[in-house]
């Protein structure tokens, strides 16, 4: 891995593999279901939109998706 995108810093990242991105989103949605989303952490673990994106990015990379920042591949 050439570089590791920070956990929540996504604004300048480009995810170039749309099919892999869709699969990563599907996997996270399947894993989380509707019961795991908890913005305030009232049920123990806190899961919010930033966490959702973090998990999507993790699965995307595991599935072989490429991420670029300013034209340079970062994974």
Instruction: For 21-32, write each residue's pLDDT tens digit.
Output: 999 989 988 887
pLDDT above 90 (res 58): yes
Q: What is the mean pLDDT of residues 36-46?
A: 61
Other C-beta atoms lying within 10 Å of the C-beta of residue 6: 9
Measured between alpha carbons, how far is residue 40 from residues 35, 49, 57 in Å?
Answer: 13, 11, 22
For residue 35, pLDDT over 60 is answered with: no
**Residue 34 — very low, low, confident or very high, per pLDDT cuts 50/70/90?**
low
């Amino acid at each position: 891995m050439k570089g590791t995108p920070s956990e929540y810093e996504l604004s300048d990242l480009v995810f170039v593999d749309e099919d892999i991105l869709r699969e990563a989103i599907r996997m996270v949605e399947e894993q989380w279901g509707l019961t795991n989303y908890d913005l305030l952490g009232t049920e123990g673990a806190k899961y919010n939109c930033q966490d959702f994106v973090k998990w999507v990015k993790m699965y995307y990379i595991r599935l072989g998706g490429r991420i670029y920042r300013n034209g340079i591949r970062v994974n």
